[in-house]
Structure 1
Amino acid sequence: MPSETPASPPTLPPFRERAPWLGGDLQTLRNIIIGGPPELSGGERLLLAMPDGDRLAARLDRPGAETNAPLIVLTHGLAGSESSRHGIATARYLVSQGWPVLRLNLRGAAPSRATSGGRYHAGKTEDLVAALRGLPAELVSRGIVLIGNSLGGNLVLKFMGEGGHGLPVLAAVAVSTPIDLAASCARLMAPRNFVYHRYMLDEMKREALAPSATLTAAERAAIAGARTLYEFDDRFVAPHFGYRGAPDYYESNAAKNFLAGARLPTLILHALDDPWVPAESYAAIDWSRLPMIETALTQGGGHMGFHGVGSLTPWHDRAAAQWLTQKGLGPASHVRDEVRPPQ
C-alpha cells in the first residue's frame, strides 16, 4: 500500500473568471445560457452488469492514437448522465489530451434506464465497484483514474475513503462536490436558490418516475408529492434504500465522513462561491490531517463552472489533466504496462 506521505499543495494554473461570467451564479449558468460543446463523434457503448441483473450503460471514447494513459472513469452529478454538458466538455478535453474516457451512467440515469430498474444515490459505491470490476481487462490494464462531478464527486470520494475495494484505481479527482450532504441540501433549499431548487427537484422527479423504474405505487406517490429536495430524500430515497430518514441517509453517505480513509492520491477542486455547496463545508475540514488529499479551493468558479481567462476549456478540466500528469498518470509519462490492485 502506498505510504501516507503528506501531500504538497498542487501546482495548478491559477483560476480567474472570464467576463462576462462573473460571480458564482453566472459561472454556474453559463453552459445553460450558451450551451455546451458538441458530443464527440463515434464512441463505444458498454453495458456493465450489476449483481441483481441490472446493467449500467457507459460510453467509452478513445484518443486517436494509442497511449499509455490510464482509463478515466467519469461519474455524473444529480439528475445527470453522459450527456451532461460539463461531462461532454471533460470527455472532449481529456480525450484530446490522450486519455481514454468512460462516462458511467448510474442506475436510473439515461441511458441506463433501459437496462436498469433500480436507482442510484449519493453514496451507492457498490454499484461503482461492480461497474469497475465489469470493465474489460484491456481497458484497465494501465489502471483507472476516477473523476466525479458534483454528486458524482461524493460517490468517488466515499469510494476512495473505503480503501479502493482492491481495484486498480490509481488516483481520483472530485469537482464541485457536496461533501456535507445535509448542508448542501439546506443550501439548495435556501430562498436565494429557489430557481435552482425548483429546477433540480423537477429533474429528479422526472428521472425517478421514468416508466422503467421499479417502484411501488406508494413510492411513486411519495416522489410526485415531494415539495422539496429534503422531502424527496426523506420520503423516497431514504426508505427506498433502508435508511431511517433523510438525516440518516445524509450522514451515512457524506464524503466528509470518509476522507480520512483515502490511501491514494486524491484531488479536490471546489469554488468557494459555489451557490449550491456552502463554503463552510470545506472550512470545517482540517485538510492538513488528510495526507493523501490535495485541495484547490478557488474564490470563484460557481458550481461546475470554472470558466476562466485564457481558454474556453473549463479550468477544472485543465487543472485535473495537469495534476494527473504531475502524478505520472498522463499519456506521455505513464510508463507502467500493467497495474495490479493494491494489497
Structure 2
Amino acid sequence: MIDPRFPRFVARPPWIGGDLQTVRNYLRRVEVPLDDYPEERIEFPLADGDRLVAALHRPATDNGRPLAILIHGLSGSQDSIYLRRSARHLLQAGFPVLRFNLRGAGPSGPFCRLSYHAGRSEDLHAALMQLDGRLAGRGLLAVGYSMGGNLLLKYLGEQGRRALFLGAVSVSAPVLPKEAQLRIMRRRNAAYHRHLLEAVKQDFGRPTSAIPESLRALMPAIRTIYEFDDRVVAPVNGFADAEDYYARTASFPLLDKIKVPTLVIHARNDPWIPAAPYLQFDWKRNPKLLPLLPRGGGHVGFHALGHAAPWHDRCTVSFFEGLLRRGR
C-alpha cells in the first residue's frame, strides 16, 4: 500500500529481506555526526520529581519551520543510530529537531526513579506543556519509532483534537503490544529476543531506578520479555500483569480517534512487529491517517537503493513539507 506522492521502496543490496534491513544499523555502525548543528540541552521536570532530558538542534538557516520531536524505541535513546539519522535528515531539510529521551533512557537515566513503558504517553504530554513559545511558537511535529511510535499514536488518540502537533509520523510501531510480544518470542527471533531483554534489564536496573530490591534481585533469572513485563514492568507501573499492560498500552484501539494528520509507516516483512493489524485496519475510517505499508524495509530499517538517507526519513520530510504547503 504505497501512496503515489511518496517514493517506492526498493531495498539496497545486499540488505535484502526483513532481517538484513533490521540489523544493518548494528552491523555497520557508521557515525552520524551532528556537529554542524550545535546541541542545546533541554530538561523537563515532572510532577513526581523525575526529569526528562532532550537535545535540541537548529538548522543552519532559520526558515521558520516547526520543531520536529523525535521519540526513540525500546532500549533506545537520543543517540540511537536511527534517531541521529532522522535528526540529520530533518535538519538538512530546514527543520529544528528535538531528540527526546523517554523516562529513564539515555541522559534522562540519572534523573529518573521510574522507567519508560509502551504507554507512558503522559510523560510526552507533560514535556509538550513545558515548551515555551521560543520552541513551540511555529508549531510542533513528531516522529515516533517502534515503541515510541506506539506511544505517540496513543497520545494522539487520547488527545484527539487537543493534541499539540501539526502532524506526526509513526515508524514500525507495535500498535498491539501483545502481538509484538508473541512475534519476538518465536524461535527464529531468539537473537533479537536476547538482545532486547538484556537491554531493558540494563535500563530498568540502572542505579537510579526505584525498582524494589526484591524485583531487582530476580531480574537476572528472568528469561523472556513476557516474564519481564509480567514480573517487573507491570507491577512497578500499576498494571495487574503483562496481559493488562499490553491491553492498556495498545494504540491500535485509538487509531479512529486521531485527529492530527499522521503518516503511518510499517514494513510487511518486519521481523519484530506483525503487519496484520495494519493490513486489517480500515484506513478509510479515519482520513487523518495515511498508511505506507511497503513489502520490504524490516524494523526501522528502510535502507533504500540509491539513497544514503533511509526511505522513512525521506517520506517523513515529504509528508511534513506537504502539510506546510497545504496548511494542514
Question: 2:22 matched to 1:28?
Answer: yes
Q: Which residue of 1 aligns with 2:138?
A: 142
Instruction: Please point out which of 97, 108, 115 is paired with 1:112.
Output: 108
Calculate percent identity across the aligned residue pairs: 43
Q: Deviations over 1:42-100 (max 9, x none)?
A: 21111111111111010011101111111101100000000100000000110011000
Q: Which residue of 1 aligns with 2:34?
A: 40
Q: Which residue of 2 aligns with 1:179?
A: 175
Report the CA distance between 1:318 and its aligned residue. 0.3
Structure 1 segments, 4+ long, off by >3 Å, are: 164-168, 333-336
Counterpart contact for 2:160–2:257, Cα < 8 Å? no
Distance 2:155 2:279 in 1: 22
Output aligned runs, 1:186-197, within 5 Å. Answer: 186-197=182-193
Question: 2:285 matched to 1:307?
Answer: no
Report the CA distance between 1:278 and its aligned residue. 1.1
Output aligned runs, 1:142-291, within 5 Å. Answer: 142-164=138-160, 166=162, 168-291=164-287
SS in 2 for 1:227: coil
What TM-score does the superposition give when structure 1 sets the normalisation length?
0.91
Q: Which residue of 2 aligns with 1:339?
A: none
Report the CA distance between 1:222 and its aligned residue. 3.8
SS in 1 for 2:315: helix
Structure number with higher helix proportion: 2
Aligned length: 325
Report the CA distance between 1:127 and its aligned residue. 0.3
Specify every segment of 5 or more residues in structure 2 that has no aligned partner in the other structure, as ranges. none
Q: Deviations over 1:86-136 (max 9, x none)?
A: 000000110011000101101110110111111111011110001111123
Q: Which residue of 2 aligns with 1:14?
A: 8
Counterpart contact for 2:155–2:163, Cα < 8 Å? no
Supply the AA of the counterpart residue of 1:327: L
Distance 1:165 1:225 in 2: 45
Distance 2:155 2:218 in 1: 29
Report the CA distance between 1:165 and its aligned residue. 7.7
Counterpart contact for 1:70–1:140, Cα < 8 Å? yes
Report the CA distance between 1:224 and its aligned residue. 2.7
Q: Deviations over 1:276-314 (max 9, x none)?
A: 011212223122212211100000000010000121100
Report the CA distance between 1:38 and its aligned residue. 2.2
SS in 2 for 1:111: helix
Counterpart contact for 1:133–1:167, Cα < 8 Å? no
Supply the AA of the counterpart residue of 2:170: A
RMSD value, Cα? 1.6
Distance 2:326 2:252 in 1: 30
Specify every segment of 5 or more residues in structure 1 that has no aligned partner in the other structure, as ranges. 1-7, 337-343
Supply the AA of the counterpart residue of 1:201: L
Distance 2:97 2:139 in 1: 12
Report the CA distance between 1:37 and its aligned residue. 3.6
Distance 1:196 1:15 in 2: 24
Distance 1:278 1:168 in 2: 29
Distance 1:224 1:125 in 2: 28
Question: 2:288 matched to 1:292?
Answer: yes
> Aligned pair in 2 of structure 1 residues 117, 10: CA closer, same or farther (>3 Å)?
farther
Supply the AA of the counterpart residue of 1:63: P
Output aligned runs, 1:115-126, within 5 Å. Answer: 115-126=111-122
Distance 2:238 2:139 in 1: 34
Q: Which residue of 2 aligns with 1:101?
A: 97
Distance 1:321 1:126 in 2: 27
Q: Deviations over 1:196-235 (max 9, x none)?
A: 0000000110111001111211221343332100001011
Q: Which residue of 2 aligns with 1:341?
A: none
> Aligned pair in 2 of structure 1 residues 274, 170: CA closer, same or farther (>3 Å)?
same
SS in 2 for 1:324: helix
Question: 2:328 matched to 1:324?
Answer: no
Supply the AA of the counterpart residue of 2:298: G
Q: Which residue of 2 aligns with 1:4?
A: none
What TM-score does the superposition give when structure 2 sets the normalisation length?
0.96
Instruction: Please point out which of 76, 85, 89 is paired with 1:89.
Output: 85
Counterpart contact for 1:36–1:89, Cα < 8 Å? no
Distance 1:54 1:334 in 2: 39
Supply the AA of the counterpart residue of 1:150: S
Distance 2:146 2:306 in 1: 24
Counterpart contact for 1:106–1:112, Cα < 8 Å? yes
